[in-house]
Amino acid sequence: MQAARSGTGPLSGVRVVELAGIGPGPFATMLLGDLGADVVRVDRPGGPGLGIEPRLDVTGRNKRSVLLDLKSATGRDTVLDLAARADVLVEGYRPGVAERLGVGPGPCLERNPALVYGRMTGWGQDGPLAPRAGHDIGYIALTGALGLTGPADGPPHFPANLLGDYAGGSLYLVVGVLAALHHARTHGTGQVVDAAIVDGTSHLTAMLHGMLAAGAWQDARGSNLLDGGSPFYGVYETSDGGHMAVGALEERFYAEFTRLLELDGETADRSDPAGWDALRAAVADRFRGRTRKEWTAVFADSDACVAPVLSLREAPEHPHLAARGTFVEHAGLTQPAPAPRFSATPGAVRTAPAPPGADTESVARDWGLPPEAFGGGPGRGTAPSPTEPRNPAAYRKAAP
């Protein structure tokens, strides 16, 4: 696994200012950086932090960092100077915080009418909950997405913070920013992008709402084709405590699945949902008879739609992911490679995560600002040490 040595990326030449935070904002700007944008992260003295060393925070890759106190006039003015030279600015404060700091959409767009001002929050810029704190689990709970997961006879299962923060949040922010950037380059006018996790996550459920209206989806967990209700779309435990994921939906794939699982025709009959409990028990019993490794070998090179459930450490070693270079190693850190892929302008992991305030000199030079705008250069201020982990409890969408 080796990172690409170079790659301009389709966003080469795009300048992005990130007002540092935690969660979906940094992931979104990492994605922009992966695609070639010049991302400058404005860190503030003393934090925030993710609870890990900055050099290990993968979402800090492909960025440069400067250190500014946004509560000072100098810090505010420098952010506005950066905004005047940028194509995109991204912030993830609670509504009203950027305005109180003097770096809200008003003064930024006044300095740069073509600026795309991306706002990342959980609840959105308005509504009764807009000023309240929150986390991924609460956002997806209100959208109905959390209620889709988990067994019918147990509590919902939450998929870390992937569904809300990153799928419903970061990716929708990036889509919005790129759409607004296209508009700005066509018409010369920027705008504000209000990316709320509750909006994006709700948008992800569009197909299910259609199925619900058509009577093809039951509004009850574990009762449907894709939520564990069917025995041929689910996860089964193996003899060694591992698990296999089964997605044999279509008839031809299901036939291959039952053949390799060695189920007789009568047991494998899935035509009557009334018999699905018995079928599920039979499938579970078969999987418990062998290890995950053994079942992986059984289903290898088949169209049975069965895969082993791998851990984060195991995933990079899977032959398919290794062959595609889905994970790369850069600066001693194994991490997901940039995605998606481009034939003419490939993205790349160009730089390791930057410690707070590490790039003052190069940013001042490249963005045409005097070093004094950043307090005199690197090493000034009270940035946390690159080896000093910070409190994970600081992970919240809150005021600086």
Residues with catalytic annotation? 135, 165
Cis peptide before 151 (omega within 30 of 0): no
Rounded CA-CA distance 360/7 in Å is: 24
CB 49 within 8 A of CB 390: yes
Q: How many residues does the chain have?
A: 400
Burial state string for 141-175 with b = 16 or more CB within 10 A and e = fewer than 16? bbbebbebbbeeeeeeebeebebbbbbbbbbbbbe
- Which H, E and C letters describe the chain, residue by residue? CCCCCCCCCCCCCCEEEEECCCCHHHHHHHHHHHCCCEEEEEEECCECCCCCCHHHCHHHCCEEEEECCCCCHHHHHHHHHHHHHCCEEEECCCCCHHHHHCCCHHHHHHHCCCCEEEEEECCCCCCCCCCCCCCHHHHHHHHCCHHHCCCCCCCCCCCCCHHHHHHHHHHHHHHHHHHHHHHHHHHCCCEEEEEEHHHHHHHHCHHHHHHHHCCCCCCCCCCCCCCCCCCCEEEEECCCCCEEEEECCCHHHHHHHHHHHCCCHHHHCCCCHHHHHHHHHHHHHHHCCCCHHHHHHHHCCCCCCEEECCCCCCHHHCHHHHHHCCEEEECCEEEECCCCCCCCCCCCCCCCCCCCCCCHHHHHHHCCCCHHHHCCCCCCCCCCCCCCCCCHHHCCCCCC
CB 257 within 8 A of CB 232: yes
Residue with tokens 């889905």: 326
